Every structure is written in structure tokens, then in C-alpha cells.
Amino acid sequence: MRILVLGGDGYLGWPTALHLSMGGHDVHVADNLVRRTYDDELGVTSLVPIASLERRVAVWRQVTGRDIPAHIGDLTDPVFTRTLVGEVRPDAIVHFAEQRSAPYSMIDQAHAVYTQSNNVIGTLNVLYAIADVDPTIHLVKLGSMGEYGTPNIDIEEGWLEITHKGRTDTVLYPKRPGSFYHLSKVHDSHNIEFACRTWNLRATDLNQGIVYGQETDETRLDPELATRFDYDAVFGTVLNRMVIQAVCGHPLTVYGSGHQVRGMLDIRDTVECIRLAIEHPAHLGEFRVFNQFTEEFSVLSIAELIRLTYPGAVRIANIENPRVEAAEHYYHAVHSRLVDLGLEPHRLDDTLIGSLFAVAERHKERADPDLFEPSVEWRATSSRVGPSAVPAHAA
């Protein structure tokens, strides 16, 4: 199949492109390279050095003999998006190309507006391009388990059958997200479902849990194929951040009580889930939802697991939670559809011992401990406006 990976320079987009290419697919990537400018804005760098997209593509060609053409442009530009889809003519589009950090979206008004306009408008442009070029293109869109929030009932895979006043219907599962970033994902989900229902498109919405890990079989082939490894409090996901804290001898920062529960998965399972979704596509007119995670953990249990498995002294520090979220809650989410398609999950404890600690140890001199502490407060409402308040990459 010919596959277009949007956001193909990112943490998950790049290893996904390699995994699909190694699997025999004809892969193209597109990116506006904005993720790299977030680092400049925030004064951070990936713990693991990453090559330029141009260099990555060249090394992949040298190592495997396979080509991954790269296209540079912005999905918020409808002309670029329509031209890209028309030129590549993919069988499937994998859509990672969004601002992906909840804390980043909560910095202030400018970052919230940027996140929602970038994410929602970009996805709308992709939907229109598919409808105009070829409505049979299968859209595989990365959503988030954070769209659901923490309801007091089981979380189904996208849809919920309800009975009200003696009548029964199936509706999209109610969502109560916890950040402007997660809200943008909810808007995406509703827009995609509407496009499938109205234009007879087909899409798979992957509501993904928190991803951990940095290495896949493909990125290990050469150091210059490495994907990024974020550890700061804005872009570093909780487990990746805590691993580096442990290696650096810094207390593991647990927000609040640490009893918040989340679905999680290994980066190797992420790329495999994408492959399975593509090779078993949705039907025309179908909007299907897969809850993409493999295990559930509380934040505190993650910290305890790191303390038990790291070969050194580890201290856990509970700090005030900068987010607005339930400290204690029920959490049980269905996640069977990808397993039914053949996913064989990796376990968190095996990943910690197998690679994460080793990766962090190799690069710990690049870590800045000042970036471990949370710097974004959900309860703050900074409403700066005007060009100076807009991130440079969004101007």
C-alpha cells in the first residue's frame, strides 16, 4: 500500500514511517518541522540527539535500500494539503501532525488558541482533501484516551449504547477532556465522524494512551534513525520523565496523590497498532474507534515500579498537582479490538529493564534537572493577546 504519514518527523510519526516501510509499504512523510521549534521556544532538547529529517531519510535509504520521500508544508494551508494528497495518492493517511502536549496548550491564551486552530483546522483540511481527491482513502487518526476523561462508568471503544425513556440508540461515547489539547482531539473526532457519515469517507480513530519508550526494531538499525526522547514537564510523558529523573538521582515527581489511572503502551506497540489498523481498514462510511493502550497504571504505581526495577536508590516526591483532575476515580476502559486484530503487547516492566534505563543512562549528561518540575498551572488564566503572545512558529 502507499501510505502518507503526516507528522512524520515526530516522536511517533518517524518510527511509524520506518515500521511501515520495513513492512513493505510505499511510505511518504509530511511535516512542517514545527516540533523542533517548540524546543527552541521552551529552551529544551531531546535527551537522545536526533538527526534532521533530510538526514534521517538518507540514512534509511542507505541502511535498507528503501526510500521515504519527505514533503515539507503545513496542513493549515489548504492548498498544500490538497496538493500533497493529490500528488501522493495514498491508500491510507496516518495523521500524527498535531500539537500533542496538554501542558503546552495550557500555558496561556495564545498557546490554547494555537493548539486548537492548528489541530482542528489541519484535520479539516485533510478531510476535505480526501473527499476531493479520493474518498476511499483510509484515514487513521491519532486521538487520545484523554478525550474521555475519567467517567464513573466503563469506557467503551468509541461508541455507547444507551436506553432513555424506553428508547435505545448508539451514540459517540460522551467525553469530558482535561485540557485544551484534549478538547482539540474531541473536536477532531466529531469532525471525522461527521465526514464519514456525510461524505461516505472511512476512518479509524485511535484513542491512544500514554506512550513510553524510545527504541523500535527499526530505529535501532542506526543511531541517526533515533526518534526523540522528551523528559521535560511540558512534553515529557510521565514514565519517560520519571525514568530520567531516576537515572539523574532526582526525586520522581508524582502530581498530587498519584492515584490518577491512565492507559499506557510501549512505543513498539504504537507502531504495530498503526500497521494493524491500516492493513485491516474501515469500511466506506465507517467511523470506528480503537482504544489504543495495553496496560493501566496509576501514576504512583509507575513511580513504585521504577523504584523497584532501577538498580540504584530512588526517592518518590509527591508535589502539588498543577492540573485540574480527579485525585481518586474509577477507571476501566475496553481495549480489545487491536488485540483481536493480532496485537501482541509488550509489558512495561520488561521495557524498563530491557531498554529505557539503558537509553537514559547513555544520554543523561544532556538532561537539565531544572526542566523536571512542572511550569504550567491549569488554574492560571493568562490572557495575553497580540502578535508578541503568539508562538513564533504560529505567527
Query: Are 207 and 158 a contacting pair, CB within 8 Å?
Result: yes
User: What does the pLDDT read at residue 395?
Assistant: 40
Q: How far apart are the first and last CA of the chain?
A: 36
**Where exactly are the structural domains of the chain?**
2-374
Residue 385 confidence (pLDDT): 60
Residue 160 burial by Cβ neighbours in a 10 Å radius (0-12, 13-18, 19+): middle
Say which amino acid occupies 284: L
Q: What is the pLDDT of residue 382?
A: 81
Contact between 158 and 119 (Cβ < 8 Å): no
Q: Are 349 and 309 in contact (CB under 8 A)?
A: yes
Q: Residue-wise pLDDT tens for the chain (395 aa)?
A: 999 999 999 999 999 999 999 999 999 999 999 999 999 999 999 999 999 999 999 999 999 999 999 999 999 999 999 999 999 999 999 999 999 999 999 999 999 999 999 999 999 999 999 999 999 999 999 999 999 999 999 999 999 999 999 999 999 999 999 999 999 999 999 999 999 999 999 999 999 999 999 999 999 999 999 999 999 999 999 999 999 999 999 999 999 999 999 999 999 999 999 999 999 999 999 999 999 999 999 999 999 999 999 999 999 999 999 999 999 999 999 999 999 999 999 999 888 888 899 999 999 999 999 999 999 999 998 876 655 565 655 44
CATH architecture for residues 2-374: 3-Layer(aba) Sandwich (3.40)
d(CA 282, CA 55): 34
Residue recorded with cell 519508550: 213
- pTM (two decimals): 0.97
Segment 201-224, tens digit of pLDDT: 999 999 999 999 999 999 999 999
Q: Dihedrals φ, ψ of 346, to 5°?
A: -85, 155
Instruction: Express the helix, strand and coil content of the chain in percent, nearest 5 each.
Output: 40, 20, 40
Contacts of 372-375 spanning 24+ positions with Cβ under 8 A: 372/231, 372/232, 372/233, 372/241, 372/244, 372/245, 372/250, 372/253, 373/233, 373/253, 373/319, 374/103, 374/233, 374/253, 374/255, 374/319, 374/322, 375/103, 375/233, 375/234
